[in-house]
Amino acid sequence: MIEALHGTARAMVSRPRGILAADESIGTMSSRLEKVGVAATADNRRDYREMLVTTPELHEGISGVILSDETFNQKLSDGNTFPLAVHALNILPGIKVDTGAKDLALSPGEKITEGLDGLRERLRDYVSRGARFAKWRAVITIGEGRPTERALRANAHALARYAALCQESVLVPIVEPEVLMDGDHTIERCAEVTRAALEYLLAELDDAGVDLAGTVLKPNMVVPGTTSGQQASPEEIAEATVTTLRAVLPETLAGVAFLSGGQSPEVATANLAAMQKHETPWPLTFSFGRALVDPALKAWHGDSALISAGQQALAGRVQPNSAAVA
């Protein structure tokens, strides 16, 4: 059981591959489809995800795909379910199991991610239908008086309870404590908050008995806030990010797979490439959503005659990220 967890975790972060985050909730996916003129129907969400996962040779740069509950239960046009189809394509199927970030009581402007009720049973069901790993995202905001210790502790505790339940079911947990880029904070403030969020998380994972060699961390890169006016080069971002990670993460962690957080595809790739110049005890790879799929969504925009164009656009983002971590 432990060996299976470790082997899956290692495979998820094995060079030159990263993870495709295609687990947008129904609400997020619907608004992204509508933005490119596609009706927000379950069939269109399915067609879009089918276009992504059937991209030729996707497995060369992608080790795993994170699916949402809706997609996990849908079938491709050949009749296979998404998890089984992804598995047949030599890619590990994963499942987002949180039920979203809700307002944290008595903490204006802060969020707590929900989804622990009934999670053990849901995980067992996902495993029986092919899931090999799971994902839970916590959202941390930077602002006046934020984040509070309450928000950091509550989100870290929920992530740790989720991760322990995953490992009990032999699913590798991706733990994602995302410090948002929104705000006018400096890169130094982002580093401070990212470090605090990771310290709370590592303490809670330890308390919960979570095995780090069977865990993948999905953090934000350390960057200036989007309205700060501060510019940082990929080298500065890589230096700040790796310094922060090294200060907190034990060497036993299976690996780090960054989120893109709203950075443009090219910037996210340049930052990821700059990280590789630093020596770290864990592989540093990608688990991007928007930075991988946005060009594909625009190229396809719901036209069945443009499936190949969408797939080429996805391959055009997977390739440089894969090259960056090779």
- Which residues are tagged catalytic? 176, 218
Q: State in angstroms the smallest separation of the CB of 251 from ligand 5MM.
A: 25
Residue 276 to residue 4: CA distance in whole angstroms:
27
Residue 303's CB is within 10 A of a number of other CB atoms, namely: 12
Q: State in angstroms the smallest separation of the CB of 32 from ligand 5MM.
A: 9
* Binder among 12, 17, 24, 201 for ligand 5MM (CB under 6 A): 24
Does 28 help bind ligand 5MM (rule: CB under 6 A)?
yes
**Based on CB atoms, which residue is closest to ligand 5MM, 49 or 157?**
49
Binding segment for ligand 5MM (CB under 6 A), chosen from 9-17, 20-28, 49-57, 316-324, is 20-28
Q: State in angstroms the smallest separation of the CB of 232 from ligand 5MM.
A: 18
Residue 152 to residue 61: CA distance in whole angstroms:
33
Residue 152 to residue 193: CA distance in whole angstroms:
9
* Binder among 12, 18, 20, 23 for ligand 5MM (CB under 6 A): 23
* Binder among 291, 296, 314, 324 for ligand 5MM (CB under 6 A): 291
Distance of alpha carbon 234 from the chain centroid? 20
Residue type, 80: N
Does 72 help bind ligand 5MM (rule: CB under 6 A)?
no
List Cα–Cα distances, 76 to 73, 132, 269, 295, in angstroms: 10, 19, 30, 22
**Based on CB atoms, which residue is closest to ligand 5MM, 42 or 203?**
42
**Based on CB atoms, which residue is closest to ligand 5MM, 31 or 308?**
31
Residue 195 to residue 190: CA distance in whole angstroms:
8
Residue 125 to residue 83: CA distance in whole angstroms:
12
Greatest Cα pair distance in the chain: 52
Does 204 help bind ligand 5MM (rule: CB under 6 A)?
no
- Tell me the site size for ligand 5MM, rule CB under 6 A: 14
* Binder among 289, 310, 314, 321 for ligand 5MM (CB under 6 A): 289
Q: Which strands make up the sheet holding 255-258, listed edge to edge?
A: 18-21, 62-67, 92-96, 133-140, 172-179, 216-217, 255-258, 284-286
Q: Which two tokens stand for residue 253?
A: 């962690």
- With tokens 């303490």, the residue in question is 203
Binding mask 252-281 for ligand 5MM (x = CB under 6 A): -------xxx--------------------
Considering only residues 129 to 188 of the shown chain, the ones binding ligand 5MM according to CB under 6 A are 137, 178
Positions that interact with ligand 5MM (CB under 6 A): 21, 23-25, 28, 137, 178, 259-261, 288-291
